[in-house]
């Protein structure tokens, strides 16, 4: 049996585009003599469709396009992910399903059993978990078709509180009783730099445990905040990885089942953490703009490292002609910050404008002088500057149709070191899941071949430049210390007493966690954040705004 794996980039709700991708791949596979083409989870709808699943018209479209796709499966069969209506008398309206299409018809269907309801997943909101397990028989082979989480029944987590075994049933254990010849897993598994190796281990362990060849097809691309890295794979019955598909790009390849069974382990060049984060962010920005049909982006450029990195990523994702920068120095901005920002724009060939905000600030200061008479300057004046910049950025955005990108990083977002209706503005947060220490690593990665980001931007002490001589270190610990505390608390969910590290005292831990908790209301109003970790701010981390904790 010759099997084609199709790692493709889908667009949520775009049935014309998604079905065309699927049909073109089926036709190509048929021309190459492939027996079966495998697509990813919910490939027809795109993942995740969220509450679109509650519209009957949406489901009717799924069914209509499935019939169209089936009409192209003549000598070649296909496994396509799409919802299925629950015909039972009870339960949710839908199943998350893998449809088997062949001979021009819909021939069979398998339903997902394990529905994730953690982190960014909320599948039980829409789908009924299946308790029936069936094998698909095709061309003399028995296929055990599983859907993503159905092979993730023994996950390990990074923190102690969660159980290492999340589910009471193992779909593969049930399917193994039917003596399959091949495990097929269709996935929609988002990227997280902390989970790339553990994902591989899940599939290699399953293949080895059941002594069966395994193929896993994941999707690639970005839908809003979720980024899918691909990394589809072919695994031999000894747990040996025979093929690992590339990161962050579409890829289609065919394999003979006999060769998978007999194949040797192959070695693969592993991309490093920073390289993968960089590629994920570029893809996240590109797909956000292309799928939303936005033409161009604007970035507020301060001469600092966050906005510099954001501009580089936007320029790579969209091309420099689709990006513009706005420099808005104040009376506290150093001349070298403005010069560094201009140099960066010239290096990237990005157009820019400079608007000094000092007169605007003085005007507002004068307007408020009667109310704030004789009161000392504090963060109020700093926030006024940030909000003036927001007004200018949004004015340019409205006038020229440039979509504003937010430049805040995860470290600052965590502790509230940002201004509501100021530097928190934007339609998409590019760096909101990237810690400050990784911001510097990403900048050096971009400069690996040549100095694109001026070295002054990387080397100077971080500062918002909103008051005389201001430095981030005036109110925050060094970022390597801060990020260590944040990572242990947010990603690893450690108890306060267990958060340790060099220069980390319990007093400091309590102060930082207090800052995190008190600024939840700010993050609630933040733009969607491109997710590159296993615990990003947003709908994957649902904390109460009003809580005594």
Q: State whether 283 and 148 are in the same domain.
A: no
Based on the residue annotation, tell me whether 316 is a catalytic residue of this protein.
no
d(CA 67, CA 102): 11
pLDDT at 159: 45
pLDDT at 543: 85
334: CATH? 3.40.50.620
Q: Out of 41, 149, 412, 491, pick the active-site residue.
A: 41
Residues 6+ positions from 505 with CB-CB distance below 8 Å: none
d(CA 477, CA 486): 12
Residues 6+ positions from 429 with CB-CB distance below 8 Å: 405, 406, 408, 413, 526, 527, 528, 529, 530
**Number of compact structural domains in the chain:** 2
Residue 493 belongs to a domain: no
Q: What are phi and psi of 71, to 5 degrees?
A: -65, -20
Q: State whether 16 and 159 are in the same domain.
A: yes
Strand, coil or helix: 487 = helix
| Structural domain harbouring 133 | 2-270
Final residue belonging to a domain, choices 243, 270, 297: 270
pLDDT at 467: 64
Residue 505 belongs to a domain: no
Residue 539 belongs to a domain: no
pLDDT at 155: 54
Based on the residue annotation, tell me whether 148 is a catalytic residue of this protein.
yes
Place of tokens 């810690």: 435
Q: State whether 464 and 394 are in the same domain.
A: yes
pLDDT at 163: 42
pLDDT at 162: 44
Residues 6+ positions from 132 with CB-CB distance below 8 Å: 111
d(CA 277, CA 405): 18
Q: Out of 112, 286, 291, 410, pick the active-site residue.
A: 112
Based on the residue annotation, tell me whether 208 is a catalytic residue of this protein.
no
Q: State whether 158 and 232 are in the same domain.
A: yes
233: CATH? 3.60.110.10
Q: State whether 39 and 159 are in the same domain.
A: yes
**Tokens read off for 93:** 């309206």
**Tokens read off for 368:** 């408020």
Residue 503 belongs to a domain: no
Final residue belonging to a domain, choices 473, 493, 520: 473
Q: Out of 62, 73, 110, 148, pick the active-site residue.
A: 148
Q: State whether 152 and 236 are in the same domain.
A: yes
Residue 228 belongs to a domain: yes
Final residue belonging to a domain, choices 253, 270, 287: 270
Q: State whether 300 and 204 are in the same domain.
A: no
Residue 396 belongs to a domain: yes
Dihedral class, residue 50 (left if φ above 0, else alpha if ψ from -120 to 50, else beta): left
**Nearest Cα to 289, choosing from 409, 423, 407, 428?**
428
Q: State whether 266 and 280 are in the same domain.
A: no
Q: State whether 301 and 184 are in the same domain.
A: no
Q: Which residues of the chain have pLDDT under 70?
A: 154-167, 464-467, 469-473
Q: State whether 315 and 336 are in the same domain.
A: yes
pLDDT at 331: 86
pLDDT at 469: 64
Q: State whether 130 and 7 are in the same domain.
A: yes
Residue 280 belongs to a domain: yes
Task: For the chain, state the CA radius of gyration.
Answer: 26
Strands across the sheet containing 214-217: 136-138, 141-147, 182-186, 214-217, 233-235, 241-244
Q: State whether 248 and 283 are in the same domain.
A: no
Residue 535 belongs to a domain: no
């Amino acid at each position: 049996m010759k099997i084609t794996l199709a790692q493709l980039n889908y667009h949520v709700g775009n049935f014309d585009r998604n079905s065309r991708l699927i049909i073109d791949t089926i036709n190509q596979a048929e021309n190459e003599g492939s027996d079966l083409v495998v697509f990813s989870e919910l490939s027809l709808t795109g993942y995740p469709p969220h509450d679109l699943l509650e519209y009957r018209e949406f489901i009717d479209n799924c069914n209509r396009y499935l019939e169209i796709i089936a009409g192209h499966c003549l000598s070649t069969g296909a496994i396509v992910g799409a919802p299925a209506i629950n015909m039972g008398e009870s339960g949710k309206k839908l199943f998350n399903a893998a449809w088997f299409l062949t001979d021009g018809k819909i021939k069979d269907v398998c339903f997902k059993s394990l529905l994730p309801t953690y982190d960014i997943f909320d599948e039980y909101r829409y789908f009924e978990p299946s308790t029936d397990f069936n094998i698909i028989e095709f061309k003399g082979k028995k296929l055990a078709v599983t859907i993503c989480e159905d092979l993730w029944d023994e996950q390990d987590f990074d923190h102690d509180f969660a159980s290492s075994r999340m589910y009471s049933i193992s779909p593969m254990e049930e399917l193994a009783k039917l003596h399959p010849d091949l495990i097929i897993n269709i996935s929609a598994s988002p990227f997280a730099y902390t989970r790339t190796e553990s994902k591989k281990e899940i599939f290699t362990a399953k293949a080895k445990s059941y002594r069966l060849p395994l193929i896993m097809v994941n999707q690639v691309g970005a839908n809003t905040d979720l980024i899918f890295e691909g990394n589809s794979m072919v695994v031999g019955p000894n747990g040996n990885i025979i093929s690992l598909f590339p990161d962050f790009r579409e890829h289609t390849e065919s394999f003979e089942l006999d060769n998978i069974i007999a194949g040797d382990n192959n070695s693969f060049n592993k991309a490093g953490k920073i390289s993968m984060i960089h590629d994920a962010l570029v893809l996240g920005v590109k797909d956000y703009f292309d799928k939303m049909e936005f033409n161009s982006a604007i970035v507020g450029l301060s001469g600092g490292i966050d906005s510099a990195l954001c501009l580089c990523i936007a320029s790579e994702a969209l091309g420099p002609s689709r990006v513009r920068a706005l420099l808005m120095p104040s009376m506290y901005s150093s001349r070298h910050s403005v010069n560094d920002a201009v140099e960066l724009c010239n290096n990237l060939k990005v157009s820019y404008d400079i608007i000094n905000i000092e007169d605007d600030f003085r005007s507002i200061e004068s307007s408020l002088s009667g109310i704030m008479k004789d009161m000392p300057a504090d963060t109020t004046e700093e926030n006024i500057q940030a909000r003036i910049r927001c007004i200018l950025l949004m004015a340019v955005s409205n006038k020229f149709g440039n979509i504003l990108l937010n430049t805040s990083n995860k470290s600052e977002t965590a502790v509230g070191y940002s201004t509501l209706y100021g530097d928190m503005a934007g339609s998409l947060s590019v760096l909101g899941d990237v810690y400050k220490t990784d911001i510097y690593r990403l900048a050096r990665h971009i400069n690996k071949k040549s100095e694109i980001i001026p070295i002054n931007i990387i080397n100077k002490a971080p500062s918002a430049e909103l008051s005389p001589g201001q430095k981030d270190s005036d109110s925050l610990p060094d970022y390597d210390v801060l990020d260590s505390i944040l990572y242990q608390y947010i990603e690893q969910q450690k108890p306060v007493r267990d958060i340790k590290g060099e220069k980390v005292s319990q007093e400091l831990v309590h102060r930082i966690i207090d800052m995190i908790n008190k600024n939840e209301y700010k993050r609630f109003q933040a733009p969607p954040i491109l997710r590159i970790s296993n615990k990003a701010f947003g709908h994957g981390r649902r904390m109460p705004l009003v809580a005594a904790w």
